[in-house]
Amino acid sequence: MRAIVLAAGLGTRLKPLTDSCPKCLVTIKGKALIDYQLDALELVGVDDIVVVVGAMADQVRAHCGNRVRYIENPQFSTTNSIYSLYLASQELCEEIFLFNCDILFHSNVLKMMLEEPKGNVLAVDTQVARVPDEMNVCFDLKGRIVEINKNIEPARAQAQSVQLIKFDSSGAKVLGEEVTRLIQADNTETFPTAAYEPILKSYGIFITDVSDFAWGEIDNLEDYKYVCDHVVPSLGI
């Protein structure tokens, strides 16, 4: 089992916390964001971890050492996370977890995803309040996702994406092909979710409702405070 962590971004919305370090090395209670993620992955037995670095990459390499493998995105300041995923496309050949470096989560979230019999699984929260401009999700009665994007109206959304996803080897292969197609068409400013459509149609991506466990995305200083106060104390790592 492999994990790909996209950690190339500047994290400008977290300034001044990112004035002198990349987003993934911002600390909460003395521990870097990426260390919470690596600990959670290792707790469920994932030890092949690829980190796509960019901003202040040398700091990430010095901090994580041989704990992970690295791919460097030299265009981190002019591209979005889909380009980082494109650079890691050669890693999309087996079962993988995929997520950004700014998601903190209880390790039981990963455990639930691994226990899900469906091959392609997205962690969602059906209890959190749905708001505009978040990665909202609609799914059918079998839990198969029919729509995922930031344009879904909150009143129509059934859940919010936790933005942790697991692909089986077939899903990962299709993901790599679609990411390559999008980049070759010069779509470097979109999100990896833009590449999910062929998987939704051919194999399906299914939800795992992880609303019983703590998680949070850190986009800005308000998110940072919420995660400090409400998420990290419940992680146990």
Which residues make Cβ contacts (< 8 Å) with residue 158, sequence separation at least 6? Answer: 126, 137, 138, 139
The 3-state DSSP class for residue 28 equals: strand
The CATH number of the domain holding residue 203 is 3.90.550.10
What pLDDT, in 10s, does the model give residues 193-206?
A: 999 999 999 999 99
* Nearest-10 crossing angle of helices 57-64, 33-43: 40
The pTM assigned to this predicted structure is 0.94
Phi, psi values for residue 73, rounded to 5°? -105, 100
What is the arithmetic mean of pLDDT over 208-217?
96
Report DSSP letters for 161-207, one per residue. EEEEEEE-HHHHHHHHHHHHHHHHTT--SS-GGGG-HHHHHHT--EE
Domain residue limits at 169 = 2-234
What pLDDT, in 10s, does the model give residues 141-188?
A: 999 999 999 999 999 999 999 999 999 999 999 999 999 999 999 988
In this model, does residue 237 exceed pLDDT 80? no
What's the confidence (pLDDT) of residue 190? 84
What's the confidence (pLDDT) of residue 28? 95
What pLDDT, in 10s, does the model give residues 77-86?
A: 999 899 999 9
Total domain count, the chain: 1
What is the arithmetic mean of pLDDT over 75-98?
94
Q: Are 80 and 188 in contact (CB under 8 A)?
A: yes
